[in-house]
Chains A and B, each alone.
Chain A
Amino acid sequence: MNNDAANRTPSRENLHGGGRVAVLALALLLTASPAVTHADAPLNYFLHAAGPAATPTMRLGWALAALVTVVALIVVVLLIGAIARRRSGAERDERHVHAEGGGMHWVWIGTAISSVALFAALAYVLVTLESVASPGREPTLTIAVTAYDWWWKIDYAGEPAVTTANEIHIPVGEPVKIQLKSADVIHAFWVPLLAGKTQTIPGVINEQWIQADRAGVYRGQCTQFCGAQHAHMAFEVIAEPRAQFDAWYASQAKPYAPVSAAVDVRAGAELFNERCAGCHAIRGTDANGAQAPDLTHLNTRRLIAAGTLPNTAQNQLDWIQHAQRIKPDSLMPSIALSATDAAALTAYLRTLQ
């Protein structure tokens, strides 16, 4: 090769050094990553699992991650070794080319070891699949979740039934069946610390199960691109002890009970029926819109706008007046309210307990 002898020695050392640096940087990045996986990542399923639909998968993730890290390191070492190893004098002749044969044992040994590792991994995968695909015992509760652009309708088919939105409650320690439907396009239901994800497909009812063995709040997220506000279509699953769950259920099942005859509350109710009831429902009143979240017990929820904002009176007003700024192109319009209207509506909404 032209000028190779002149270039060869210095560049070889550069690469050797450069290769070393690359490996070091990679190792640093890998070991530094736990620092990045702070516990404040509510969707971090790699380090946290809270039930039998998720824990086996988490362990599988660790095992496979460890396996592939080892394989990657071995390959990197082999690659650097292949590049950097010292060659004998005869090979240094510029015109010399090595014979065609030789080196096949690399291929056979490497492929054989890789295949064994792969099949072992496959066996573990199938075992894990078996254990998370269906619950060990009959689900004690069935919840129908219907995905809408860009919120979640939650229906409990009990006696009496409960309808709510964007916040699911389940009893701790019990397998729960989720029936998944879609009102429009394909979405996906995912609460990572409790289970893997499943698409909600219009025209089809999919099913999955979840179970929380620890009380807590578990965040979920839509994970199938569904249009403009796919980014802001979250929900929460709140696992609580059975007694608390039953109490929550009972209170959710009650229709709206007027608690105040104050003027502004009545004005707010009228305003609501005029401007909001076309889409929203409050069970027990005349408002029975079916295209937006049920607001009967609005103030029992932690978040609003499908997990986008904390549920405070100010945020509620902000959402009503500036929805298109907070969630552009969502189906909630920005509704202009005069100061008195805003006060009346706030007063009315405060009664939705």
Chain B
Amino acid sequence: MTEHAPSPPPLRRTLILGRIEPGSDEERALREIWEAPPGWRGWLSTVDHKSIGLRYLVTAFLFLIAGGIEALIMRVQLARPDAHVLTPEQYNQLFTMHGVTMIFLYALPVLSGFSNYLWPLVLGARDMAFPRLNALSYWIFLFAGLFLYASFPFGEAPNAGWFNYAPLSGLTYNTGPNIDVYALGMVLLGISTTVGSMNFVVTFLRMRAPGMSVDRVPVLVWGTLTASGGNLLAVPSVSLAFFLLWLDRRIGTHFFDVMNGGRALLWQHLFWIFAHPWVYAVVLPAMGIVSDALPVFCRRPLVGYLPVAMSTVATMTVGFVVWIHHMFATGIPALALSFFGAASMVIAIPSAVATFAWIATIWTGRPVFRVPFLYFAGFVFLFVIGGLSGVLTAAVPLDWQLTDTYFVVAHLHYVLLGINVFPVIGGIYFWFPKFTGRMMSERIGRVGFWILFVGFNVAFFPMHIAGLLGMPRRIYTYAPDMGWNTVNMITSVGAFVFALGVLVFLVDFVYSVRRGPAAGDNPWDAPTLEWSTSSPPPPYNFAVSPRIASRHPLWEERLSGRMRSQLTVGYVLNRGREALGTSALDGDPDVILKMPEDSYAPFWLGVASLVFFTGLALTAWWLAGVGLLGCAGAIVVWLWPRRELGQRDDSPDDDAPKSNNTRSPRAGATS
């Protein structure tokens, strides 16, 4: 064919089954295509989901430590009655930031970290659907976290509780920048959460390996998918609430302005409509981690995959109609409360399904007592206690006594640490070999687990009792004759024991990163796809597209089915960064996706967003304008259609009628 101009990138291509041997030239070329540049350039521009996932994990853990230190300081103040370690203002800022940090800057981001790293690997994909958007969600999370802490060093951290009720958070009672930082920081963080959720949903619909039908995806994927769908619908409620609050405070609107027809309860509705689904968003992926990893240590597939997957979705769905259980004491009529109370009790049923599935998996399997198993077994115990105390708080008249006492503090810590932190640490022990190629220490891990488990229960179980004795929440001190002295001292001691356990875990982590023994590809003999790659995985994840035939590709020979996955022979996709797109339900190959190169646009868009929100916080409109222009510029650069991504087709031959688009391309154009 005459070539008077470079032929346009072909619009179709025939994929051929093939292999790419490890160590071959082809493999090396593939690696080079996918590897990020070294040094700070790579650091700022990488879109590799594995790097982004690790960043999320490390950053979330740093926030966990910050939130933990805040808690320890509070526990020193509360260990004895009438203590003067902290002033009331200091205490109020600490308990607010403790909540904000743990709930927003640790609990979801740590799960985003796991999911970002693992999803493409367990789904058999090369990356997430939107790699640049993935990078953006991290940068905005980091910047929002820094923004939320920006006023802390000046002693002006948010101080009206993480729940930030109006009118206490309004301008009349809170004149400083504290709440403005909180409000705007949360809107910024909401952007990160939203784009992250979008990425997960589309990745699920688009990027699963051929043969991975929806009933073969790991439960972690169900958990994160459900959480992401929930977040897409719930996050706007809190972003709106905070934005309206900021408008009230700095622009002079009247949404929560009681003197002018505004309503304090509007805040509570908008906040809890978000915050209740949010608590499921921060536990369902972690339950998915357990559902996927526990079976490995029971040497059998999970009992009841379908019921567990469905209970995940059911929990999130019902989770949207229970928010009023945070508002039982607001004077809403009892009839309305009955409905929400009933729903709040019924939501325990899907959790029971999952709990019995886990117990059945252990019972009918053969436990292998490595460190991850300890965390997952401990998780089941803590989950049950947290869930059961929740049943008490769901009982409307009893909640009228329990709410706003330490009973709820006990409940929320059992569910949040029990269902998020314990599976997370177990998950880190489990996947550390895959992330780093090394094993963590069994011995140190065991010591760490028992210190954490004992410390946790010593710290938080007595809080049930303190609550039943009437100790209210959010008080900076208490009188010596209320009967709360002993339980508080025990709790404070337990808190420090727990902190010691965290320290032991961190020591193990740091030591093992450097000196842990080599792990190999699949040290746990686990069944899912990520364990078929090297440890750590190559930048391209899979050299050829795997074909999946069951939920447990690496156990197929030992399980009774006849289906066999194909992991070493598949379609070769190595003309630049490419991935295979598949259909939404069945996972049939659909399209060759052209994936983006590393880019600085997400970083710059993150910076411009930060500038914009800083301008708003300082009511420096010019600065906000600069930020907005920066955002617009970054977005235009990002979204400008690119030939190599198949987004445009403007070759010189363009105006000639394209008659052969749906038939095979001209000879020679496919190679």
Contact = CB atoms under 8 A, between A and B. Distances in A.
Do A and B touch (CB < 8 Å)? yes
Contact of A44 (B361, B468, B559): B468
A209 B361 CA distance: 50
B469 A60 contact: no
A230 B349 contact: no
A79 B391 contact: no
Interface stretch (A82-90, A242-250, A265-273, A336-344): A82-90
Interface in B418-476: 442, 446, 450, 453-454, 457, 461-462, 465, 468-476
B338 A204 contact: no
A26 B457 contact: yes
Interface string B352-394: 1101110111111111111000100100110011001101100
Interface in A18-69: 18, 22, 25-26, 29, 33, 36-38, 40-46, 54, 56-57, 60-61, 64-65, 68
Interface stretch (A124-132, A168-176, A252-260): A124-132
A40 B558 contact: no
A159 interface: no
Contact of B263 (A12, A36, A203, A328): A203
Given A57-B401, A122-B342, A196 B329 contact: yes
Contact of B483 (A44, A92, A102, A115): A44
Contacts of A76: 381, 384
Interface residues of B, number: 112
B576 interface: no
A152 to B, nearest CB: 15
A192 B161 CA distance: 24
A197 B401 contact: yes
B482 interface: yes
A228 B367 CA distance: 51
Contacts of B348: 114, 118
B345 A223 contact: no
B1 to A, nearest CB: 54
A110 interface: yes
Interface in B280-312: 298-301, 303-304, 307
B486 interface: yes
Contact of B391 (A22, A64, A98, A184): A64
Interface stretch (B87-95, B130-138, B241-249, B581-589): B87-95
Given A60-B398, A72-B385, A125-B345, A97 B355 contact: no
Interface in B559-602: 559-561
A56 B31 CA distance: 69
Interface in A301-344: 308, 328-329
Given A41-B484, A87-B366, A122-B345, A107 B303 contact: yes
B400 interface: yes
Contacts of B398: 57, 60-61, 64, 125, 128
A107 B483 contact: no
Contacts, number: 329
B152 interface: no
Contacts of A286: none
B198 interface: no
A285 interface: no
A70 B441 CA distance: 37
Contacts of B369: 7-8, 11-12, 14-15
A163 B471 CA distance: 29
A206 B345 contact: no
Contacts of A71: 384, 388
Contact of B359 (A1, A79, A91): A79
B537 interface: no
A38 B487 CA distance: 12
A121 B388 CA distance: 12
B154 interface: no
A166 interface: no
Nearest to B299: A97
- Most chain A beta-carbon contacts within 10 A, residue among B299, B346, B361, B362: B299
B478 interface: yes
Contacts of A186: 165, 167-168, 264
Interface string B237-262: 00000000000000000000011001
Interface residues of A, number: 107
A184 B167 CA distance: 8
Contacts of B352: 110-111, 114-115
A237 interface: no
Given A26-B457, A29-B461, A115-B349, A230 B474 contact: yes
B432 to A, nearest CB: 14
Contacts of B520: 2
A68 B442 CA distance: 34
Contacts of B396: 125, 129
A202 interface: yes
Contacts of A199: 329-331
A45 B338 contact: no
B313 to A, nearest CB: 16
Contact of A197 (B263, B346, B404): B404
B469 to A, nearest CB: 4
A96 interface: yes
B516 interface: no
B525 interface: yes
B357 A107 contact: yes
A261 interface: no
A298 interface: no
A57 B329 CA distance: 15
Nearest to B365: A98
B173 interface: yes
B304 A107 contact: yes
B353 A107 contact: yes
Given A184-B167, A224-B404, A106 B363 contact: yes
B523 interface: yes
Nearest to A42: B482
A96 B557 CA distance: 11
A227 interface: yes
Nearest to A330: B88
Given A129-B341, A329-B87, 18 more contacts: A1-B368, A4-B368, A29-B462, A43-B482, A60-B398, A76-B384, A83-B377, A95-B525, A97-B300, A98-B365, A106-B357, A110-B356, A125-B398, A129-B397, A133-B397, A186-B168, A198-B331, A328-B88
Give the 4 A-B residue pairs with the shortest CB-CB distance, closest first. Answer: A43-B470, A196-B400, A41-B483, A98-B300
19 contacts: A1-B523, A12-B367, A25-B457, A42-B483, A57-B400, A61-B398, A76-B384, A92-B366, A100-B301, A104-B307, A104-B360, A106-B364, A107-B360, A110-B356, A110-B359, A128-B397, A128-B398, A185-B165, A190-B404
Interface of A: 1-2, 4, 7-8, 11-12, 14-15, 18, 22, 25-26, 29, 33, 36-38, 40-46, 54, 56-57, 60-61, 64-65, 68, 71-72, 75-76, 78-79, 81-83, 85, 87, 91-92, 94-100, 102-104, 106-107, 109-111, 114-115, 118, 121-122, 125-126, 128-130, 132-134, 149, 180, 184-186, 188, 190, 192, 195-199, 201-204, 206-207, 221-231, 308, 328-329
